[in-house]
């Protein structure tokens, strides 16, 4: 290689190095101008959490009942303009039957509607207010039976472990509801032991474990297929030994054996009395709002076998049949303890007649 070629080669190398250095400097300069990734991701999340904290349960309930309100009660709009004639009254009656509040309630309600229509002072607003008062009067006597103190922990009033047995068919939201209930009680400062007695569904037990881990509740579980009543016994025994404030028991919604579900649940309930003759203090049936009037037949069977003390009304955010709570309370004479409108723990709260009816009717 002659001297000229060597000089050209050296010059090319020098140019390449210079270009490389210039490119690197430009990349470093550009990188400095970019915002830091953590700040870009954290700030939006913080805003979302702040927004969520200001949403009251009443607002959640109103939002959850939007479908029922829109598909049923919302159709009342414009029906009262120009007065109520026979055709409009017939349409009104059909809407009320579609609201799932029960045939007996609708029949009684329509007698009052006819009276008020003849008087000529029934507008949409006055009708909704009248309907609110009418339905509240139907539900109030039964709701007054609910001992709300059982679900509002008071650390100054120390008492023996309260046992809450939760029952319901698979798919009603029973396991999730128990997780929410344990979380709410823990947030009030109560100590909670949860018994995973639905030993036929491993997925349900795992789901309940996640809720307990998050809330700090203690959970008792056994091998898949174990005796459900034995798990309940062990859970209550541990709760008593720990002097826990609550012992919440999940139960099977169906069995994979020939044994009758109600027989197994009755057995589980009776076994608890060996440790505490008054246990369980509460037997709660979880009812899926989507099932509407069909839920009444379920409740009748559970009530006959277990002597239910109250109900939990779930999934009101995905059903147009949320009005069935009225007929369920009226027919079974059982109060609703809790109502659920979503997946988070904040989406479960003590049932309040005024809040429920206002959200349902759009008042």
In this prediction, residue 116 carries a pLDDT of 81
In this prediction, residue 334 carries a pLDDT of 92
Region 148-361: CATH code: 3.40.50.300
Contact predicate 248/193, CB 8 Å: yes
Of 258, 241, 257, 235, nearest in space to 165 by CA: 235
pLDDT digits (tens, 9 = 90+) for 213-224: 999 999 998 777
Omega before 280 within 30 of 0, i.e. cis: yes
* Distance between CA atoms of residues 340 and 184, nearest Å: 13
Of 172, 170, 230, 238, nearest in space to 197 by CA: 230
In this prediction, residue 282 carries a pLDDT of 94
User: What single string gives the DSSP state of each residue in 53-71?
Assistant: HT--HHHHHHHHTHHHHHH
The predicted model scores a pTM of: 0.78
CA distances, 123 to each of 98, 117, 183, 219 (Å)? 21, 9, 44, 54
In this prediction, residue 52 carries a pLDDT of 41
* Distance between CA atoms of residues 275 and 272, nearest Å: 6
CA angle 316, 359, 68 (to 5 degrees): 45
Contact predicate 72/99, CB 8 Å: yes
Query: b/e map of 100-109 (b: 16 or more CB within 10 Å)?
Result: bbbeebbeeb
Question: Which residues, 6 or more positions from 39, have their beta carbon under 8 angstroms from its beta carbon?
Answer: none
- Render each residue's pLDDT in the chain as its tens digit; 363 residues: 566 666 666 666 665 666 666 665 655 554 444 333 222 222 222 222 333 445 677 788 887 777 777 777 667 766 776 677 888 888 888 888 877 788 888 899 889 888 887 877 777 788 888 889 999 999 999 999 888 887 888 888 888 999 999 998 888 888 999 999 999 999 999 999 999 988 778 888 898 999 999 999 999 987 776 788 899 999 999 999 999 999 999 998 775 444 688 888 999 999 999 999 999 999 999 988 777 667 778 888 889 889 999 999 887 776 566 777 888 888 888 999 999 887 788 888 899 999 988 888 877
Could you state, in order of their start, the residue ranges of all structural domains in the chain? 148-361
pLDDT digits (tens, 9 = 90+) for 89-111: 888 888 888 777 888 888 998 89
């Amino acid at each position: 290689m002659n001297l000229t070629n060597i000089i050209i080669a050296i010059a090319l190398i020098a140019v390449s190095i210079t270009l490389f250095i210039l490119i690197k400097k430009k990349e470093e300069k550009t990188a400095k101008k970019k915002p830091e990734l953590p700040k870009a991701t954290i700030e939006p999340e913080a805003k979302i959490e702040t927004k969520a904290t200001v949403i009251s349960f009443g607002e959640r309930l109103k939002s959850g009942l939007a479908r029922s309100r829109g598909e049923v009660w919302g159709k009342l709009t414009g029906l009262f303009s120009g007065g109520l004639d026979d055709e409009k009254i017939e349409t009104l009656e059909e809407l009320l039957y579609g609201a799932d509040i029960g045939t007996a309630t609708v029949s009684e309600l329509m007698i009052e509607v006819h009276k008020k229509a003849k008087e000529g002072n029934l507008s949409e607003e006055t009708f909704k207010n009248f309907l609110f008062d009418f339905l509240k009067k139907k539900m109030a006597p039964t709701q007054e039976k609910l001992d709300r103190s059982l679900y509002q922990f008071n650390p100054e009033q120390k008492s023996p472990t309260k046992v809450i047995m939760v029952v319901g068919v698979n798919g009603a939201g029973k396991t999730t509801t128990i997780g929410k209930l344990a979380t709410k009680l823990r947030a009030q400062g109560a100590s909670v032991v949860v018994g995973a007695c639905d030993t036929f569904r491993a997925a349900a037990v795992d789901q309940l474990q996640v809720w307990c881990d998050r809330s700090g509740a203690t959970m008792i579980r056994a091998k898949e297929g174990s005796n459900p009543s034995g798990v309940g016994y062990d859970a209550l025994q541990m709760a008593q030994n720990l002097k826990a404030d609550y012992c919440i028991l999940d139960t099977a919604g169906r069995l994979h054996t020939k044994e009758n579900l109600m027989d197994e649940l009755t057995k589980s309930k009776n076994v608890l009395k060996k440790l505490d003759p008054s246990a369980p203090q509460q037997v709660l049936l979880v009812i899926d709002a989507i099932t509407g009037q069909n839920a009444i037949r379920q409740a009748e069977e559970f009530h006959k076998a277990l002597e239910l003390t109250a109900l939990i009304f779930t999934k009101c955010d995905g059903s147009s049949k949320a009005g069935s709570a009225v007929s369920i309370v009226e027919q079974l004479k059982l109060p609703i303890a809790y109502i659920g409108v979503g997946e988070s723990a904040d989406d479960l709260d003590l049932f309040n007649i005024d809040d429920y009816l206002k959200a349902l009717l759009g008042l």
